[in-house]
Structure 1
Amino acid sequence: MMEFKEFGNIRNPKILLIHGMATTWDTCYKATINELKEDFYVIVPVLDGHNPEEQSEFCSIHEAASKIEQYVLERHNGKLHAASGFSMGGTILIQILANQILHIHRVVLDAAYCAPLGIFSKLCTKFLSTQIAKVKENKPFHFALRKVMEIGRFDEDALRKAFYSSISYNTILNCFSQLFEYRIPKNLCSIKADVTYWYGSNETYAAKSARNLKKALPNLEIRSFERYGHGELITKYPKQCVAELKRIIL
Protein backbone atom coordinates (compact mmCIF):
# COMPACT_ATOMS: atom_id res chain seq x y z
CA MET A 1 0.00 0.00 0.00
CA MET A 2 1.47 3.34 -1.05
CA GLU A 3 2.31 5.63 1.86
CA PHE A 4 1.55 9.37 1.88
CA LYS A 5 3.07 12.22 3.88
CA GLU A 6 1.13 15.40 4.65
CA PHE A 7 2.26 18.76 6.01
CA GLY A 8 0.74 22.10 6.98
CA ASN A 9 -2.74 23.39 7.75
CA ILE A 10 -5.42 21.37 6.01
CA ARG A 11 -7.48 24.54 5.52
CA ASN A 12 -4.84 25.91 3.16
CA PRO A 13 -4.85 25.23 -0.60
CA LYS A 14 -3.68 21.68 -1.31
CA ILE A 15 -0.64 20.88 -3.42
CA LEU A 16 0.55 17.42 -4.50
CA LEU A 17 4.29 16.77 -4.96
CA ILE A 18 5.47 13.58 -6.72
CA HIS A 19 9.15 12.73 -6.42
CA GLY A 20 11.38 11.23 -9.07
CA MET A 21 13.00 7.86 -9.72
CA ALA A 22 15.77 6.42 -7.53
CA THR A 23 15.43 9.03 -4.81
CA THR A 24 13.16 9.43 -1.79
CA TRP A 25 10.36 11.85 -1.05
CA ASP A 26 12.36 13.71 1.61
CA THR A 27 15.62 13.84 -0.34
CA CYS A 28 13.72 15.28 -3.27
CA TYR A 29 11.29 17.60 -1.47
CA LYS A 30 12.31 18.26 2.15
CA ALA A 31 13.50 21.82 1.52
CA THR A 32 10.55 22.50 -0.79
CA ILE A 33 8.06 21.25 1.80
CA ASN A 34 9.56 23.48 4.49
CA GLU A 35 9.09 26.50 2.23
CA LEU A 36 5.55 25.60 1.13
CA LYS A 37 3.86 24.27 4.26
CA GLU A 38 3.11 27.72 5.71
CA ASP A 39 0.91 28.65 2.74
CA PHE A 40 -0.19 25.24 1.43
CA TYR A 41 -1.29 21.84 2.63
CA VAL A 42 1.36 19.60 1.09
CA ILE A 43 0.60 16.00 0.06
CA VAL A 44 3.55 13.79 -0.89
CA PRO A 45 3.23 10.17 -2.10
CA VAL A 46 6.05 7.79 -1.21
CA LEU A 47 6.33 5.88 -4.48
CA ASP A 48 6.45 2.09 -4.35
CA GLY A 49 9.99 0.78 -4.52
CA HIS A 50 11.27 4.04 -3.00
CA ASN A 51 10.17 3.67 0.62
CA PRO A 52 12.94 2.90 3.16
CA GLU A 53 10.28 1.77 5.65
CA GLU A 54 8.84 -1.09 3.59
CA GLN A 55 9.76 -3.64 0.96
CA SER A 56 7.97 -2.94 -2.29
CA GLU A 57 8.67 -2.54 -5.99
CA PHE A 58 7.61 0.06 -8.50
CA CYS A 59 5.55 -1.62 -11.21
CA SER A 60 4.09 0.96 -13.56
CA ILE A 61 3.26 4.61 -14.13
CA HIS A 62 -0.42 3.74 -14.52
CA GLU A 63 -0.51 1.85 -11.22
CA ALA A 64 1.22 4.71 -9.37
CA ALA A 65 -1.21 7.22 -10.87
CA SER A 66 -4.18 5.07 -9.84
CA LYS A 67 -3.00 4.74 -6.24
CA ILE A 68 -2.48 8.49 -5.93
CA GLU A 69 -5.88 9.18 -7.45
CA GLN A 70 -7.58 6.78 -5.04
CA TYR A 71 -5.93 8.40 -2.03
CA VAL A 72 -6.77 11.98 -3.07
CA LEU A 73 -10.36 10.94 -3.85
CA GLU A 74 -10.83 9.25 -0.48
CA ARG A 75 -9.00 11.78 1.70
CA HIS A 76 -9.39 15.08 -0.14
CA ASN A 77 -12.52 14.73 -2.29
CA GLY A 78 -10.42 14.49 -5.44
CA LYS A 79 -9.65 18.22 -5.45
CA LEU A 80 -6.22 19.90 -5.50
CA HIS A 81 -5.26 23.50 -6.01
CA ALA A 82 -1.96 22.51 -7.59
CA ALA A 83 0.36 19.60 -8.34
CA SER A 84 4.00 19.24 -9.33
CA GLY A 85 6.06 16.23 -10.34
CA PHE A 86 9.79 15.89 -10.85
CA SER A 87 11.25 13.60 -13.55
CA MET A 88 9.35 10.28 -13.34
CA GLY A 89 7.02 11.96 -10.85
CA GLY A 90 6.15 14.41 -13.61
CA THR A 91 5.38 11.55 -15.99
CA ILE A 92 3.07 10.02 -13.37
CA LEU A 93 1.41 13.42 -13.07
CA ILE A 94 0.86 13.57 -16.85
CA GLN A 95 -1.02 10.26 -16.56
CA ILE A 96 -3.08 11.59 -13.65
CA LEU A 97 -4.03 14.62 -15.74
CA ALA A 98 -4.98 12.41 -18.69
CA ASN A 99 -7.16 10.18 -16.49
CA GLN A 100 -9.19 13.28 -15.57
CA ILE A 101 -10.31 11.79 -12.26
CA LEU A 102 -8.87 14.50 -10.02
CA HIS A 103 -9.64 18.21 -10.24
CA ILE A 104 -6.35 20.13 -10.42
CA HIS A 105 -6.15 23.82 -11.25
CA ARG A 106 -2.44 24.41 -11.82
CA VAL A 107 0.35 21.99 -12.69
CA VAL A 108 4.15 22.24 -12.89
CA LEU A 109 6.05 19.43 -14.61
CA ASP A 110 9.77 19.48 -13.82
CA ALA A 111 11.63 17.56 -16.56
CA ALA A 112 8.86 14.98 -16.95
CA TYR A 113 9.78 12.17 -19.36
CA CYS A 114 7.50 11.82 -22.38
CA ALA A 115 9.79 11.10 -25.32
CA PRO A 116 9.63 7.34 -26.07
CA LEU A 117 12.75 5.74 -27.51
CA GLY A 118 10.94 3.30 -29.82
CA ILE A 119 13.07 0.35 -30.91
CA PHE A 120 15.90 1.49 -28.62
CA SER A 121 13.82 1.46 -25.43
CA LYS A 122 14.58 -2.10 -24.34
CA LEU A 123 18.30 -1.79 -25.05
CA CYS A 124 18.55 1.51 -23.17
CA THR A 125 16.48 0.15 -20.31
CA LYS A 126 18.78 -2.84 -19.82
CA PHE A 127 21.99 -0.88 -20.16
CA LEU A 128 21.03 2.06 -17.93
CA SER A 129 19.46 -0.18 -15.28
CA THR A 130 22.76 -2.02 -14.99
CA GLN A 131 24.70 1.23 -14.79
CA ILE A 132 22.39 2.83 -12.22
CA ALA A 133 22.58 -0.32 -10.08
CA LYS A 134 26.34 0.17 -9.93
CA VAL A 135 25.83 3.47 -8.14
CA LYS A 136 24.86 1.35 -5.12
CA GLU A 137 28.32 -0.21 -5.28
CA ASN A 138 30.03 3.18 -5.49
CA LYS A 139 31.56 2.30 -8.86
CA PRO A 140 32.59 4.92 -11.45
CA PHE A 141 29.94 6.31 -13.78
CA HIS A 142 29.92 5.09 -17.36
CA PHE A 143 30.30 7.96 -19.86
CA ALA A 144 26.89 7.12 -21.37
CA LEU A 145 25.26 7.46 -17.96
CA ARG A 146 26.87 10.87 -17.58
CA LYS A 147 25.30 11.93 -20.86
CA VAL A 148 21.84 10.55 -20.13
CA MET A 149 21.63 12.00 -16.60
CA GLU A 150 22.44 15.50 -17.95
CA ILE A 151 23.19 16.98 -14.57
CA GLY A 152 25.00 20.12 -15.69
CA ARG A 153 28.69 19.39 -15.22
CA PHE A 154 27.60 16.10 -13.68
CA ASP A 155 27.92 16.60 -9.96
CA GLU A 156 28.57 12.98 -9.03
CA ASP A 157 28.67 13.67 -5.31
CA ALA A 158 25.25 15.35 -5.37
CA LEU A 159 23.78 12.51 -7.40
CA ARG A 160 25.14 9.86 -5.06
CA LYS A 161 23.73 11.71 -2.04
CA ALA A 162 20.29 11.92 -3.69
CA PHE A 163 20.34 8.27 -4.76
CA TYR A 164 18.15 5.82 -2.82
CA SER A 165 20.67 3.07 -2.17
CA SER A 166 18.11 0.42 -1.16
CA ILE A 167 16.25 0.55 -4.47
CA SER A 168 15.94 -2.89 -6.08
CA TYR A 169 17.16 -3.77 -9.55
CA ASN A 170 13.62 -4.73 -10.58
CA THR A 171 12.33 -1.30 -9.57
CA ILE A 172 15.09 0.40 -11.56
CA LEU A 173 14.32 -1.82 -14.54
CA ASN A 174 10.58 -1.15 -14.33
CA CYS A 175 11.09 2.61 -13.98
CA PHE A 176 13.32 2.90 -17.04
CA SER A 177 11.11 0.60 -19.08
CA GLN A 178 8.02 2.63 -18.26
CA LEU A 179 9.71 5.97 -18.93
CA PHE A 180 11.35 5.03 -22.21
CA GLU A 181 8.11 3.58 -23.58
CA TYR A 182 5.67 6.16 -22.20
CA ARG A 183 3.52 7.87 -24.80
CA ILE A 184 1.46 10.98 -24.14
CA PRO A 185 -2.23 9.96 -23.89
CA LYS A 186 -4.34 11.24 -26.76
CA ASN A 187 -7.03 12.65 -24.48
CA LEU A 188 -4.54 14.90 -22.65
CA CYS A 189 -5.57 17.70 -25.02
CA SER A 190 -8.96 17.94 -23.30
CA ILE A 191 -7.71 18.73 -19.78
CA LYS A 192 -8.61 22.04 -18.14
CA ALA A 193 -5.60 22.54 -15.86
CA ASP A 194 -3.03 25.27 -16.51
CA VAL A 195 0.22 23.39 -17.17
CA THR A 196 3.83 24.64 -17.06
CA TYR A 197 6.86 22.57 -18.06
CA TRP A 198 10.33 23.25 -16.56
CA TYR A 199 13.68 21.92 -17.66
CA GLY A 200 17.35 22.86 -17.45
CA SER A 201 19.05 24.17 -20.58
CA ASN A 202 21.53 21.28 -20.34
CA GLU A 203 18.75 18.70 -20.67
CA THR A 204 18.24 17.52 -24.25
CA TYR A 205 15.85 14.67 -23.37
CA ALA A 206 13.62 16.96 -21.30
CA ALA A 207 13.67 19.58 -24.05
CA LYS A 208 12.40 16.96 -26.48
CA SER A 209 9.73 15.93 -23.97
CA ALA A 210 8.62 19.56 -23.69
CA ARG A 211 8.26 19.81 -27.48
CA ASN A 212 6.22 16.59 -27.55
CA LEU A 213 3.95 17.84 -24.78
CA LYS A 214 3.46 21.17 -26.53
CA LYS A 215 1.89 19.32 -29.47
CA ALA A 216 -0.73 17.82 -27.16
CA LEU A 217 -1.16 20.99 -25.10
CA PRO A 218 -0.81 24.08 -27.33
CA ASN A 219 -1.28 26.37 -24.31
CA LEU A 220 1.58 24.72 -22.40
CA GLU A 221 3.97 27.23 -20.83
CA ILE A 222 7.62 26.14 -21.19
CA ARG A 223 10.44 27.52 -19.04
CA SER A 224 14.11 26.67 -19.56
CA PHE A 225 16.53 27.43 -16.72
CA GLU A 226 19.89 28.48 -18.11
CA ARG A 227 22.90 26.26 -17.33
CA TYR A 228 20.87 23.90 -15.12
CA GLY A 229 20.82 20.15 -15.55
CA HIS A 230 18.37 17.45 -14.46
CA GLY A 231 17.05 18.14 -10.98
CA GLU A 232 19.43 20.98 -10.16
CA LEU A 233 16.71 23.56 -9.58
CA ILE A 234 14.85 21.48 -7.02
CA THR A 235 17.85 19.93 -5.27
CA LYS A 236 20.44 22.71 -5.31
CA TYR A 237 18.31 25.85 -5.37
CA PRO A 238 15.10 25.02 -3.46
CA LYS A 239 14.37 28.65 -2.52
CA GLN A 240 14.46 29.66 -6.19
CA CYS A 241 12.36 26.59 -7.03
CA VAL A 242 9.70 27.50 -4.47
CA ALA A 243 9.66 31.16 -5.56
CA GLU A 244 9.09 30.07 -9.17
CA LEU A 245 6.46 27.56 -8.06
CA LYS A 246 4.57 30.11 -5.97
CA ARG A 247 4.60 32.58 -8.85
CA ILE A 248 2.66 30.04 -10.90
CA ILE A 249 0.31 28.49 -8.36
CA LEU A 250 -0.67 31.42 -6.13
Structure 2
Amino acid sequence: MKVYSLGNKAGPTLMLLPGTCCHWKSNFAPVLPLLEPHFHVLCVSYDGFDETEPDTTFPTMEEEAAKIEAYINENLGGHLHAAYGCSLGGSFVGLLAARQNIRLEIGILGSSDLDQASPFVAKLETDIALPLIYPVVRDGRFKSKLLNKKMEKRKQEMPGYVDKFMEIMGGARPYVSLQSCKNQFYSDMITPLPDHWDGPTAIHIFYALKMGEKYRARYAQHYAHPIIHEQDMQHEELLACHPEQWAALVKEICL
Protein backbone atom coordinates (compact mmCIF):
# COMPACT_ATOMS: atom_id res chain seq x y z
CA MET A 1 0.00 0.00 0.00
CA LYS A 2 1.17 3.51 -0.81
CA VAL A 3 -0.07 6.93 0.24
CA TYR A 4 0.51 9.89 -2.07
CA SER A 5 0.83 13.29 -0.38
CA LEU A 6 -0.38 16.30 -2.38
CA GLY A 7 -1.59 19.84 -1.95
CA ASN A 8 -1.29 22.38 0.86
CA LYS A 9 0.53 20.77 3.78
CA ALA A 10 -0.53 23.66 6.03
CA GLY A 11 -4.21 22.88 5.41
CA PRO A 12 -6.42 20.30 7.11
CA THR A 13 -5.67 16.74 6.06
CA LEU A 14 -8.18 15.03 3.75
CA MET A 15 -7.65 11.35 2.89
CA LEU A 16 -9.15 10.02 -0.34
CA LEU A 17 -9.89 6.30 -0.64
CA PRO A 18 -10.60 4.82 -4.11
CA GLY A 19 -13.50 2.64 -5.17
CA THR A 20 -13.58 -1.02 -6.16
CA CYS A 21 -10.62 -1.92 -8.41
CA CYS A 22 -9.98 1.77 -9.16
CA HIS A 23 -6.66 3.55 -9.62
CA TRP A 24 -6.19 6.33 -7.08
CA LYS A 25 -5.11 9.00 -9.55
CA SER A 26 -7.82 8.48 -12.15
CA ASN A 27 -10.43 8.04 -9.42
CA PHE A 28 -9.80 11.54 -8.09
CA ALA A 29 -8.21 13.30 -11.08
CA PRO A 30 -11.23 15.57 -11.71
CA VAL A 31 -11.18 16.97 -8.17
CA LEU A 32 -7.53 17.01 -7.11
CA PRO A 33 -6.79 20.48 -8.57
CA LEU A 34 -9.85 21.81 -6.73
CA LEU A 35 -8.76 20.33 -3.39
CA GLU A 36 -5.03 20.93 -3.35
CA PRO A 37 -5.10 24.70 -2.59
CA HIS A 38 -7.19 24.06 0.53
CA PHE A 39 -6.19 20.63 1.88
CA HIS A 40 -3.23 18.44 2.59
CA VAL A 41 -4.53 15.63 0.39
CA LEU A 42 -3.53 12.02 1.05
CA CYS A 43 -4.49 9.55 -1.68
CA VAL A 44 -4.43 5.88 -0.71
CA SER A 45 -3.31 3.36 -3.33
CA TYR A 46 -4.29 -0.11 -2.15
CA ASP A 47 -2.08 -3.17 -2.20
CA GLY A 48 -2.31 -4.82 -5.61
CA PHE A 49 -3.57 -1.71 -7.39
CA ASP A 50 -0.45 0.48 -7.62
CA GLU A 51 1.78 0.21 -10.69
CA THR A 52 4.89 0.81 -8.56
CA GLU A 53 4.11 -2.27 -6.44
CA PRO A 54 3.17 -4.90 -9.06
CA ASP A 55 4.10 -7.82 -6.79
CA THR A 56 1.63 -6.92 -4.02
CA THR A 57 -1.81 -8.47 -3.64
CA PHE A 58 -4.81 -6.92 -1.94
CA PRO A 59 -5.36 -8.89 1.29
CA THR A 60 -8.62 -8.18 3.18
CA MET A 61 -10.49 -5.03 4.09
CA GLU A 62 -9.47 -5.31 7.74
CA GLU A 63 -5.78 -5.94 6.96
CA GLU A 64 -5.70 -2.98 4.58
CA ALA A 65 -7.55 -0.82 7.13
CA ALA A 66 -4.86 -1.70 9.69
CA LYS A 67 -2.17 -0.50 7.26
CA ILE A 68 -4.04 2.77 6.73
CA GLU A 69 -4.31 3.21 10.50
CA ALA A 70 -0.60 2.49 10.91
CA TYR A 71 0.21 5.20 8.36
CA ILE A 72 -2.02 7.72 10.16
CA ASN A 73 -0.54 6.85 13.55
CA GLU A 74 3.03 7.04 12.30
CA ASN A 75 2.73 10.16 10.12
CA LEU A 76 -0.18 12.18 11.52
CA GLY A 77 0.00 11.47 15.24
CA GLY A 78 -3.10 9.30 15.01
CA HIS A 79 -5.34 12.19 13.97
CA LEU A 80 -7.09 12.59 10.60
CA HIS A 81 -9.32 15.59 9.97
CA ALA A 82 -11.45 14.02 7.21
CA ALA A 83 -11.67 11.03 4.89
CA TYR A 84 -13.70 10.57 1.70
CA GLY A 85 -14.32 7.07 0.39
CA CYS A 86 -15.52 6.52 -3.18
CA SER A 87 -17.91 3.53 -3.26
CA LEU A 88 -15.86 0.71 -1.65
CA GLY A 89 -13.67 3.43 -0.18
CA GLY A 90 -16.69 4.39 1.92
CA SER A 91 -16.51 0.97 3.56
CA PHE A 92 -12.95 1.84 4.59
CA VAL A 93 -14.16 5.14 6.01
CA GLY A 94 -16.78 3.22 8.00
CA LEU A 95 -14.16 0.79 9.27
CA LEU A 96 -11.72 3.53 10.28
CA ALA A 97 -14.48 5.29 12.22
CA ALA A 98 -15.84 2.14 13.89
CA ARG A 99 -12.48 0.61 14.88
CA GLN A 100 -11.42 3.84 16.64
CA ASN A 101 -7.72 3.06 16.34
CA ILE A 102 -7.28 6.60 15.04
CA ARG A 103 -9.10 9.88 15.70
CA LEU A 104 -11.19 10.68 12.63
CA GLU A 105 -13.23 13.87 12.83
CA ILE A 106 -15.24 13.67 9.58
CA GLY A 107 -16.03 10.65 7.43
CA ILE A 108 -17.72 10.96 4.02
CA LEU A 109 -19.15 7.93 2.20
CA GLY A 110 -19.52 8.49 -1.53
CA SER A 111 -22.46 6.53 -2.96
CA SER A 112 -21.31 3.48 -0.99
CA ASP A 113 -23.66 0.50 -1.26
CA LEU A 114 -22.53 -1.09 2.06
CA ASP A 115 -23.58 -4.44 0.63
CA GLN A 116 -22.99 -7.30 3.07
CA ALA A 117 -23.52 -11.04 2.67
CA SER A 118 -22.68 -14.39 4.20
CA PRO A 119 -19.39 -15.98 3.09
CA PHE A 120 -21.31 -18.46 0.89
CA VAL A 121 -23.34 -15.78 -0.90
CA ALA A 122 -20.33 -13.46 -1.14
CA LYS A 123 -18.26 -16.21 -2.78
CA LEU A 124 -21.07 -16.99 -5.20
CA GLU A 125 -21.48 -13.33 -6.18
CA THR A 126 -17.72 -12.91 -6.51
CA ASP A 127 -17.44 -15.95 -8.78
CA ILE A 128 -20.19 -14.53 -11.00
CA ALA A 129 -18.95 -10.94 -11.07
CA LEU A 130 -15.19 -11.33 -11.46
CA PRO A 131 -15.14 -12.86 -14.97
CA LEU A 132 -17.11 -9.79 -16.06
CA ILE A 133 -15.23 -7.16 -14.06
CA TYR A 134 -11.63 -8.32 -14.34
CA PRO A 135 -11.22 -7.89 -18.14
CA VAL A 136 -12.28 -4.25 -17.69
CA VAL A 137 -9.52 -3.77 -15.11
CA ARG A 138 -6.88 -5.69 -17.07
CA ASP A 139 -7.75 -4.60 -20.63
CA GLY A 140 -9.96 -1.55 -20.21
CA ARG A 141 -12.94 -3.25 -21.86
CA PHE A 142 -15.28 -6.19 -21.43
CA LYS A 143 -14.19 -9.50 -22.89
CA SER A 144 -17.68 -10.30 -24.15
CA LYS A 145 -18.80 -8.64 -27.40
CA LEU A 146 -22.35 -8.69 -26.06
CA LEU A 147 -21.35 -6.78 -22.93
CA ASN A 148 -19.44 -4.24 -25.01
CA LYS A 149 -22.56 -3.70 -27.11
CA LYS A 150 -24.62 -3.24 -23.96
CA MET A 151 -22.04 -0.75 -22.72
CA GLU A 152 -22.38 1.25 -25.93
CA LYS A 153 -26.14 1.27 -25.48
CA ARG A 154 -25.77 2.51 -21.90
CA LYS A 155 -23.51 5.31 -23.15
CA GLN A 156 -26.28 6.45 -25.48
CA GLU A 157 -28.88 6.25 -22.68
CA MET A 158 -26.71 8.17 -20.20
CA PRO A 159 -24.43 10.41 -22.29
CA GLY A 160 -21.37 11.49 -20.40
CA TYR A 161 -21.88 9.46 -17.24
CA VAL A 162 -20.73 6.03 -18.46
CA ASP A 163 -17.59 7.41 -20.13
CA LYS A 164 -16.70 9.49 -17.07
CA PHE A 165 -17.29 6.56 -14.72
CA MET A 166 -15.03 4.33 -16.80
CA GLU A 167 -12.37 7.07 -16.72
CA ILE A 168 -12.31 7.20 -12.93
CA MET A 169 -11.74 3.43 -12.81
CA GLY A 170 -8.38 3.89 -14.45
CA GLY A 171 -8.34 2.17 -17.85
CA ALA A 172 -6.27 -0.89 -18.74
CA ARG A 173 -3.98 -2.01 -15.89
CA PRO A 174 -2.43 -5.38 -16.73
CA TYR A 175 -0.36 -5.34 -13.52
CA VAL A 176 -3.50 -5.81 -11.38
CA SER A 177 -4.03 -9.49 -10.62
CA LEU A 178 -7.29 -11.38 -10.66
CA GLN A 179 -6.61 -12.37 -7.04
CA SER A 180 -6.41 -8.74 -5.90
CA CYS A 181 -9.76 -7.97 -7.53
CA LYS A 182 -11.29 -11.13 -6.10
CA ASN A 183 -10.01 -10.45 -2.57
CA GLN A 184 -11.25 -6.87 -2.64
CA PHE A 185 -14.71 -7.69 -4.00
CA TYR A 186 -15.26 -10.66 -1.65
CA SER A 187 -13.76 -9.08 1.46
CA ASP A 188 -15.88 -5.95 1.14
CA MET A 189 -19.06 -8.04 1.30
CA ILE A 190 -18.11 -10.12 4.34
CA THR A 191 -16.52 -7.38 6.46
CA PRO A 192 -19.24 -6.20 8.85
CA LEU A 193 -19.99 -2.64 9.83
CA PRO A 194 -21.76 -2.07 13.17
CA ASP A 195 -25.45 -1.21 13.28
CA HIS A 196 -26.68 2.17 14.58
CA TRP A 197 -23.10 3.31 15.17
CA ASP A 198 -22.98 6.50 17.24
CA GLY A 199 -19.29 7.24 17.70
CA PRO A 200 -17.28 10.47 17.72
CA THR A 201 -16.84 10.73 13.92
CA ALA A 202 -19.37 12.89 12.04
CA ILE A 203 -20.61 10.64 9.22
CA HIS A 204 -21.70 12.32 5.98
CA ILE A 205 -23.16 10.34 3.09
CA PHE A 206 -23.42 11.42 -0.54
CA TYR A 207 -26.62 9.59 -1.45
CA ALA A 208 -27.19 9.10 -5.19
CA LEU A 209 -30.99 8.82 -5.31
CA LYS A 210 -31.03 6.94 -8.62
CA MET A 211 -29.34 4.00 -6.88
CA GLY A 212 -32.65 3.30 -5.10
CA GLU A 213 -34.36 3.66 -1.73
CA LYS A 214 -32.87 0.49 -0.25
CA TYR A 215 -29.57 2.33 0.21
CA ARG A 216 -31.17 4.96 2.41
CA ALA A 217 -32.37 2.09 4.63
CA ARG A 218 -28.81 0.70 4.80
CA TYR A 219 -27.42 4.06 5.86
CA ALA A 220 -30.06 4.29 8.59
CA GLN A 221 -29.24 0.72 9.65
CA HIS A 222 -25.52 1.34 10.13
CA TYR A 223 -25.48 4.91 11.44
CA ALA A 224 -27.49 6.46 14.24
CA HIS A 225 -27.07 10.03 12.98
CA PRO A 226 -25.91 10.07 9.36
CA ILE A 227 -25.86 13.44 7.62
CA ILE A 228 -27.25 12.59 4.21
CA HIS A 229 -26.60 14.79 1.18
CA GLU A 230 -29.04 13.79 -1.55
CA GLN A 231 -28.23 14.10 -5.25
CA ASP A 232 -30.64 13.12 -8.02
CA MET A 233 -27.86 11.22 -9.75
CA GLN A 234 -26.36 7.81 -10.46
CA HIS A 235 -23.64 6.08 -8.43
CA GLU A 236 -20.72 8.54 -7.94
CA GLU A 237 -22.01 10.71 -10.78
CA LEU A 238 -21.33 13.80 -8.66
CA LEU A 239 -17.62 12.96 -8.41
CA ALA A 240 -17.21 11.77 -12.00
CA CYS A 241 -19.30 14.35 -13.87
CA HIS A 242 -19.61 17.39 -11.60
CA PRO A 243 -16.20 17.87 -9.93
CA GLU A 244 -16.76 21.54 -9.06
CA GLN A 245 -20.04 20.75 -7.30
CA TRP A 246 -18.44 17.77 -5.52
CA ALA A 247 -15.47 19.83 -4.35
CA ALA A 248 -17.71 22.65 -3.16
CA LEU A 249 -19.70 20.24 -1.00
CA VAL A 250 -16.56 18.61 0.42
CA LYS A 251 -15.14 22.04 1.29
CA GLU A 252 -18.44 23.06 2.91
CA ILE A 253 -18.30 19.96 5.13
CA CYS A 254 -14.59 19.95 5.94
CA LEU A 255 -13.46 23.58 6.14
Question: Does the 8 Å CA contact 2:113/2:215 hold for their aligned counterparts?
Answer: yes
Question: Does the 8 Å CA contact 1:60/1:174 hold for their aligned counterparts?
Answer: yes
Aligned to 1:35: 34
Give ranges in structure 2 of 5+ residues lacking alignment: none
**Deviation of residue 190 (structure 1)?**
4.1
Is 1:177 matched with 2:177? no
Kindly provide the amino acid, as one letter, of the partner of residue 179 in structure 2: N
Aligned to 1:195: 203
Aligned to 2:94: 94
**Deviation of residue 209 (structure 1)?**
4.3
Aligned to 1:243: 248
Superposition RMSD in Å: 2.4
Bigger Cα displacement from structure 2, 110-119 vs 228-237: 110-119
- Looking at structure 2, the residues matched to 222 and 162 of structure 1 have their Cα atoms a distance apart, in angstroms, of 23
Question: Does the 8 Å CA contact 2:96/2:104 hold for their aligned counterparts?
Answer: no
**Deviation of residue 49 (structure 1)?**
1.5
Aligned to 1:109: 109
Is 1:77 matched with 2:85? no
Aligned to 2:218: 212
- Looking at structure 1, the residues matched to 18 and 216 of structure 2 have their Cα atoms a distance apart, in angstroms, of 19
Give ranges in structure 1 of 5+ residues lacking alignment: none
Question: Does the 8 Å CA contact 2:203/2:226 hold for their aligned counterparts?
Answer: yes
Change (3 A) 1:58 1:109: same
TM-score by length of 2: 0.85
- Looking at structure 2, the residues matched to 215 and 102 of structure 1 have their Cα atoms a distance apart, in angstroms, of 23
Name the count of aligned residue pairs: 240
Change (3 A) 1:153 1:201: farther
Percent of residue pairs bearing the same amino acid type = 23
4+ residue segments displaced more than 6 Å: none
Aligned-partner SS, 2:21 = coil
Change (3 A) 1:10 1:141: farther
- Looking at structure 2, the residues matched to 242 and 99 of structure 1 have their Cα atoms a distance apart, in angstroms, of 27
TM-score by length of 1: 0.86
